[in-house]
Amino acid sequence: MQAQANIIAQWHDVCHVDDLVTNSGVCALIGDVQVAIFSVQLDGEENLYAISNWDPIGEANVLSRGIVGTLTDKIVVASPLYKEHYDLATGTCLERDDISVNTYPVRVEHERVLIEL
């Protein structure tokens, strides 16, 4: 008989909304996972995104320092290392179909940013 591990995702309080910088990223450490959190204002609407901070091509935790923008109608972050673009909603790399990063649900409650991991 094999033991099975059931991993249950939990919501983690990571920061106050005022700690986020509009159209930029910040990094939060949840356990041993680095999460890049982006507050993006587009057409007067503010949206939050959370993806892995790990750049699988550059092999470094740097995505929170990337440049945020739009490309082909997608909100993306450009890696500061090799400039690949990652879709903030899906984590897919626009230049390489075989590469993606994890995305995480994010919400705000009582002005606190929560990430599900």
Note the pLDDT tens digit of each residue in 70-105: 998 999 999 999 999 999 999 999 999 999 999 999
Please give the structure tokens belonging to residue 92: 């897919």
What CA–CA distance (Å, rounded) separates 12 from 17?
A: 14
Instruction: Confirm if 27 and 37 have CB atoms less than 8 A apart.
Output: yes
Q: Which residues pair with 83 in a beta bridge?
A: none
**pTM assigned to the model:** 0.91
pLDDT in tens, 23-72: 999 999 999 999 999 999 988 889 999 999 999 999 999 999 999 999 98
Kindly report the average pLDDT of the chain as a whole number: 94
What is the Cα–Cα distance from 105 to 117, expressed in whole angstroms? 8
List phi, psi (to 5°) of 18. -70, -15
